[in-house]
Amino acid sequence: MTERRTGTAGLALMIGALGVVFGDIGTSPIYTLQTVFDPDDPHPVPVSTANVYGVVSLVFWSVVIIVLVTYVLLAMRADNDGEGGIMALITLLRRTGSSRGRRTTAVLAALGIFGASLFFGDSMITPAISVLSSMEGLKVVQPSLDSAVVPGTAAIIVVLFLVQRRGSAAVGRLFGPVMIVWFTVIGACGVRGIVDHPQILRALWPSYALGFLVGHFGTAFFALAAVVLAVTGAEALYADMGHFGRRSITRAWLFLVFPACVLSYLGQGALILADPHNISSPFFLLAPGWGRLPLVILATAATVIASQAVITGAFSVASQAAQLGYLPRLRIAHTSESTVGQIYVPWINWLLMVSVLTLVFAFRSSAALAFAFGMAVTGTITITTLLFFYLARARWHTPVWLITVGATLLLTVDLLFVAANVTKLVHGAWLPLLIGFTAFTVMTTWRRGRKIVTAERERTEGPLRGFVDQLHFREVPAARVPGTAVFLNRGSLTTPLAMRANVEHNHVRHEQVVILSIETETVPRVPDDQRTTVDNLGYAEDGIIHVTARFGYMETPDVPAALALLDPADTEGQLRLDQASYFLSTIELRCGEAPTMARWRKRLFIATSHITADAAEYFGLPRGRTVIMGSQIEV
């Protein structure tokens, strides 16, 4: 019975993964070959039998090498407590770096942050190009519908971002069956094309890809900038690993997604061989005339799901970036009790929505966005490959010869794609680089500023036990007043700023003082009997205690409820929680004259601090009895 339940749960995760993870890479057949042979491309690929075989073979082997080998077989083995993506690699890198060269670790971590920054660019471009490409199928059905493409795309995108709050599991359950239909249909359409021209199956042989790349390098090199569209979404597979797990993603890829995409590419190649005019829209022309409108509708649903893959990936990257100190504390809603990685980040959601809509109205076609797309994808893939092989040697002690062979082969492929996309800089590839550099600047500035502020704050706070010693021996004069005061603090080592200010400036302390730290565990819920731990800080009768409250990732921290669970025997008397005052320590940041950062970076750091989640609301504190005491720190 347990095995059956486990099997059912695994099947549900696979369906959910199909509905979230594979939308991006699964809809690449819509526009990849069309873009390769686009006559308006600055470096067009002439339509000929040899070129069609070469391009289809390049597409197939690119998917095998980058998606199957780099991500499914290698990178997805490197997880951080189940979480994947480039931020997980950075976490593992920093843990390994304690025993390696600090400079090497710092450089690779910075490179990883830039890769994560490029992924944010991917998260903005993917929804725009995916939904636009499907809506453009309306022009194949009825050319007069051209004017409806952009407004229709915008409406779909708004609805997509509005449903994100329901969580990736709910979205996956809704979209999973749609994607099963999608992959079945595109595979069947591909078979239809292959039956008419079965010789296209020869493109699966690697000699066609190598022959095209070596024999027609000038043409093949520029074609790579469009061929890369076939592997868009590879990083989303890795970044979304925390949502559904490696096993579910791997099985769904091997048994359904990969075969369906390959059949579609082969079918489109056969269609172009039959009539070169089919390059205008080979994906939709594969379907019979009666089936094209239903295919457009299905493609629209699939490209909405394609957007879902990178959106959930962006949530994961942002959450991990905040945990690593590269972004402020963001409000994060956990949407699953069974999978810790299923989250919703409102601030990122709305930022992405505005950015995607801006791209739709600015570029207005998938062809215009295609040149921008590849740069973000290839940059992130190359950095992921580099970090993985470094970790394989440093963390798992993989033999040097194996690292050398594997890294040389995979990085050669990656760098060829990067070089090809660099040629498209003036045609739109500058956009993801601009987004990437902007995100990189924000994240590195926040980390640097946070380090400066933390050091100054710890100096100002001083050690907690030393401060309690001073109160106990009355070295600091402070009158005891009736009541209970709860001071929220980041840990048990330093003194809450609000408590120090109360004693040193107001010369008072409450009869009962609770210094409270909050910890979030990697389980959905924490039982009440494991909720709190009490430390008397060395003195049993002074009325000052430190409490650690633990909450599961699915729980909204409720501080008053957690304190109500405390035993009066542990708290040096009954806490009067109905009248307790809650104190929060806040920091007002100001630009200082110290040469810690450039002035523009100081201003950027201060501006970024304003998106930090509200602590009083997050911890469920009663507004009427919450006192916020601030202190100034110069950056």
Top-ranked range on mean pLDDT: pick from 19-28, 113-122, 350-359: 350-359
pLDDT at 183 (0 to 100)? 94
Amino acid letter at 583? F
pLDDT greater at residue 20 or residue 564: 564
- Rg of the chain (C-alpha set): 28
Give the whole-number percent of the chain exceeding pLDDT 90.
25
pLDDT of 542-566, one tens digit each?
A: 888 899 998 875 566 788 888 888 8
pLDDT of 397-411, one tens digit each?
A: 889 999 999 999 999
For residue 337, pLDDT over 80 is answered with: no
pLDDT of 430-443, one tens digit each?
A: 888 898 899 999 99
Dihedral pair phi/psi, residue 39, rounded to 5°: -65, -15
Average pLDDT over residues 617-632: 78
pLDDT at 547 (0 to 100)? 92
pLDDT greater at residue 343 or residue 115: 115
514, β-bridge pairs: 486, 545
Beta carbons within 8 Å of 404's beta carbon, 6+ residues apart: none
Which of these, 260, 291, 263, lies nearest to 181 by C-alpha position? 260
Alpha-carbon distances, residue 629 vs 487, 584, 600, 632 (angstroms): 11, 6, 28, 10
How remote is the C-alpha of 556 from its chain's centroid?
22
pLDDT at 5 (0 to 100)? 37
Which of these, 234, 301, 288, lies nearest to 261 by C-alpha position? 234
Beta carbons within 8 Å of 341's beta carbon, 6+ residues apart: 82, 83, 241, 242, 243, 316
pLDDT greater at residue 41 or residue 3: 41
DSSP 143: G
Q: Given its phi and psi angles, is residue 514 left (phi above 0), alpha (psi -120 to 50 degrees) or beta?
A: beta
**3-state SS track over 213-269:** HHHCHHHHHHHHHHHHHHHCCHHHHHHCHHHHCHHHHHHHHHHHHHHHHHHHHHHHH
Average pLDDT over residues 490-501: 85
pLDDT at 309 (0 to 100)? 67
For residue 20, pLDDT over 90 is answered with: no
pLDDT at 635 (0 to 100)? 78
Beta carbons within 8 Å of 415's beta carbon, 6+ residues apart: 382
Instruction: State how far the Cα of 556 lies from the Cα of 549, in Å rounded to an integer.
Output: 12
For residue 479, pLDDT over 80 is answered with: yes
pLDDT of 388-397, one tens digit each?
A: 999 898 888 8
Alpha-carbon distances, residue 587 vs 40, 141, 590, 610 (angstroms): 55, 59, 9, 11
pLDDT at 179 (0 to 100)? 87
Entry pTM: 0.74
Amino acid letter at 581? S
Top-ranked range on mean pLDDT: pick from 135-149, 553-567, 594-608: 594-608
For residue 233, pLDDT over 90 is answered with: no
Ranges 391-400, 445-454, 550-559, 599-608: which has the least confidence: 550-559
**3-state SS track over 60-126:** HHHHHHHHHHHHHHHHHHCCECCECCHHHHHHHHHHHHCCCCHHHHHHHHHHHHHHHHHHHHHHHHH
**Residue tagged 């061929």 (tokens):** 227
pLDDT of 154-164, one tens digit each?
A: 998 898 888 77
pLDDT of 263-314, one tens digit each?
A: 999 999 999 999 888 888 899 899 998 888 899 888 888 877 767 767 877 8
CB 68 within 8 A of CB 249: no
The alpha carbon torsion through 310, 326, 80, 305 (nearest 10 deg) reads -10
Please, which pLDDT band fits residue 3 given cuts at 50, 70 and 90?
very low
pLDDT at 191 (0 to 100)? 96
pLDDT at 2 (0 to 100)? 36
CB 79 within 8 A of CB 246: yes
pLDDT of 193-217, one tens digit each?
A: 999 999 999 999 999 999 999 988 9
